[in-house]
Structure 1
Amino acid sequence: MKILHIVPSYLPAWRYGGPIHSVHGLCGALAAQGHEIHVFTTNVNGSTDSDVPLGIAVDIDGVQVWYFPSKCLRRLYYSPLMKGALKTRIKEFDLVHLHSVFLWPMWVAAGCARRAHVPYVIAPRGMLVAELIREKNKVIKKLSIALFDRRVLKGATAIHFTTEREKADCLALGINVSCGVVVPNGIDISEIPVNIRNSKKKNTAKPYILYFGRINWKKGIDRLIRAMQFLPEARVNIVGNDEEAYLPTLKLLAHDLGVRNQVKFHGPAKLEKKWEWITGASVLVLPSRSENFGNVVLEAMAVGVPVVVTPEVGLADTVKRSGAGIVADGNPESIATAIKKIIHDRKKAHSMSEAGRHTVETEYTWENVAGQMEEAYQGVLRTPLRE
């Protein structure tokens, strides 16, 4: 198949976190299966531009990536040159896969696909959650849904969800999910350094609790800091990129609660340092208020680190089913209790470690995920186009 993916930003825009990794992981895995994969994206990288060639194909792991400039309305990723390319080239492709909502490239690509009678799939990527819509830019997002996104979703031959929870979140917004397909994100185990991948021994010299990810409200980091009141003997490292100026609020909270000596804040980690942070932890905690998937949970499981997640994390069902960790309610005492069960019971922690490794290796490799996505695409091509 010849498949076009539409993504607001792409590598090397690492600052956008999990979606950048997961979309490229999927594209690379599909290319490895023999499909011809193209990506149309912008060069937007926060307030700056990625240093990439514009308007020509750049080969990244077998994926043909086309970058287009966005000079105005950058928050919407507006790019007239991308629109021109879509109009002239979209008929080349068997299908189109859109990643995100609320953004200009999705609206334009969906319209071009409909007019060219090319089927498209859309992946909301965790953005269609009622609580998140209420919390940030509520009026703008509701207008976007009414004017653009509901039409885009209605015209999609399939809606791609990464978890059943994400599908339920969309249903709660009144979106018809009958055409929904659930295909998870994956993990490239070969990216894990060999010495870490093969090691069964944990560094227990100075074990710590770890939060690893973006610093913002929805991640529930304040829940973890509050939990430290019930864990006076423990310490937590919070590692991540703060682009929403939320870090001062968290530091003040740690000070006011009297736990600032237990909580250490670190900036974003370079890719090669990520695995050192994760493997050095006794437990990884993702206490999110909303998380359509949770890539870092898979990464921790892959190297045998037990996890504690809240029910709002998309992978919560996997964590519970596999025994790779504990699903704890979002209140601080419940999170603290779950952490205690892991750090005070080595036998339980070892069992969780082995369960996590096994689950990732048997269910979440990119080869496995690409096979599932390929089946979904075949279903799309057999389905009549929606109006």
Structure 2
Amino acid sequence: MEHDRLRIAMVSVEEPSAGQRVHVAGLSAALACRGHAVTAYTRLESALSPDRERTELGYDVVRLSAGPVVPIDENEMISQIGRLAELLGREWRDAPPDVVHAHGWTSGLASVLAEHRGTPVVQTYYGLGGSVRRSLAERIVGREVARVAAMSSNEVLALVRTGVGRSRISVVPTGVDVQMFTPWGRTARRGTRSRIVTAAPQRGLADLVKVLSHVEDAELLIIGGPGKRRIGQDPGLRRLRALAVDAGVADRVVFTGAVSRERTIALLRSADVVVCAARCEPVGHVSLEAMACGVPVVATAVGALADSVVDGVTGLHVPPGRPRLLAKALCGLLGDGVRRQELGAAARDRACARYSWDRIAADTLRAYERAGVRTAGPARRAGQDSAPRR
């Protein structure tokens, strides 16, 4: 079916996690690529940033001046909710959007408090729980919005426990740019050891470092974190380095620090296996990037990872906090090149079929429609590819 051109307001005012940042940018670009008018509203955090700008990906960004012009934490953000709601209401007074899509619970609060003439609000949480105040706010938002977009099947169950009716929930996972993340192209150089790649920060990295002592002739590459010059100052990475020394594997653990997207892709391609050993993972974008690069993923069966990685088909599931089982899975895969190739090929196919940004945009539009938004089909721009570049 054909969709009218929608005016979509993406609200993401809190300091986002890496997964949230990737999701908001990728989804905004994919919807803009389908011909919709997308404006992302965030909070002004730097005096060097413009109040308004049009991105190369086809959507607009509006930065709202609420509170100090620096990044602020969750507690400080709560004191700015009223101001953000007021500013959003002003933005929408003369030209209300067709749908408001709030990302994160503080964005949800600001969105439902803003005056927007009955415009439906769709909420994405990026994980639930934490402080009592946050849990209460999440329940309020869940009750007030028109629909909730859960990022995984596990999140659906958690939402139902908070009181959101199952009929008001759509599953809309994050996506991956399958034209950028591919098995083909430049690959990072490596030695003769097997290469295991993972990403920082995530809970569960300590388990993986400990496991390395039981995986012979393999190196562990940890991508992400602070810049390379500041790695030694990061408390979390310092603890991991000390743990590697205690385990006798310090010479086989490499911290890359923050790297460019192009370098990340080259490192993922160089991996024999990518590990996502998080104790909790609401988004799971790293697993999708690895899958799109044709690399098998060993993942804890939690959150979004339980959906994206199909056990025995695109990778392997292991229970969280079970290092012996993680070691067994890694040893088995690293010793079987044929199976790695089979899993990697299936992983690439699944990433393209289920998690391309165009597919996620279509899922999102269906969620908007079920929230009461007048939608229909993609109003693509002539000559434009439906897969956004990040």
Structure 1 residues 306 and 272, CA, compared in 2 at 3 Å: closer, same or farther?
Answer: same
Match of 2:58 among 58, 62, 66: 62
What SS does the aligned partner of 2:286 have?
helix
Match of 1:189 among 178, 188, 197: 178
TM-score of the superposed pair, with normalisation by structure 2: 0.83
Match of 1:96 among 100, 113, 127: 100
Q: 1:265, CA displacement in angstroms?
A: 2.1
The aligned runs of 1:285-296 (5 Å cut-off) are 285-296=275-286
Letter in 2 for 1:211: T
Q: 1:165, CA displacement in angstroms?
A: 1.4
Checking the alignment, whether the CA contact within 8 Å between 1:310 and 1:327 is kept in structure 2 is yes
Counterpart CA distance in 2 for 1:373 and 1:322 is 29
What SS does the aligned partner of 2:123 have?
strand
Q: 1:315, CA displacement in angstroms?
A: 2.6
Counterpart CA distance in 2 for 1:205 and 1:88 is 60
Counterpart CA distance in 2 for 1:168 and 1:229 is 37
Q: Count how many residue pairs are aligned between Structure 1 and Structure 2.
A: 354
Counterpart CA distance in 2 for 1:197 and 1:333 is 33
Structure with the higher helix share, 1 or 2:
1
Where does residue 361 of structure 1 map in the other structure?
A: 352
Structure 1 residues 205 and 121, CA, compared in 2 at 3 Å: closer, same or farther?
Answer: same
Letter in 2 for 1:85: L
Which deviates further from its counterpart, 290-299 or 57-66? Answer: 57-66
Counterpart CA distance in 2 for 1:270 and 1:305 is 19
Q: Deviations over 1:196-251 (max 9, x none)?
A: 53689997844311112x324xx210110121121132221112215973122212
The aligned runs of 1:212-361 (5 Å cut-off) are 212=199, 214-216=200-202, 219-241=203-225, 245-320=235-310, 323-330=313-320, 331-361=322-352
Counterpart CA distance in 2 for 1:204 and 1:350 is 20
Bigger RCO (CA 8 Å, 6+ sep): 2
Check if 1:156 corresponds to 2:145: yes
Q: Deviations over 1:132-160 (max 9, x none)?
A: x2xxxxxxx212332x3321110111111
Where does residue 165 of structure 1 map in the other structure?
A: 154
Q: 1:174, CA displacement in angstroms?
A: 5.1
Counterpart CA distance in 1 for 2:351 and 2:149 is 21
Letter in 2 for 1:207: S
Structure 1 residues 273 and 50, CA, compared in 2 at 3 Å: closer, same or farther?
Answer: farther
Q: 1:69, CA displacement in angstroms?
A: 3.1
Q: Deviations over 1:87-144 (max 9, x none)?
A: 223351111000001x2x432221125x631210110012x04xxx2xxxxxxx2123
What SS does the aligned partner of 1:235 have?
strand
Where does residue 208 of structure 1 map in the other structure?
A: 195
Where does residue 87 of structure 1 map in the other structure?
A: 89
Where does residue 7 of structure 1 map in the other structure?
A: 12
Checking the alignment, whether the CA contact within 8 Å between 2:187 and 2:266 is kept in structure 1 is no
TM-score of the superposed pair, with normalisation by structure 1: 0.83
Structure 1 residues 189 and 24, CA, compared in 2 at 3 Å: closer, same or farther?
Answer: same
Checking the alignment, whether the CA contact within 8 Å between 2:275 and 2:299 is kept in structure 1 is yes
Where does residue 388 of structure 2 map in the other structure?
A: none
Counterpart CA distance in 1 for 2:346 and 2:188 is 15
Counterpart CA distance in 1 for 2:21 and 2:319 is 29
* Identical positions, percent: 24
Letter in 1 for 2:349: H
Counterpart CA distance in 1 for 2:210 and 2:164 is 35
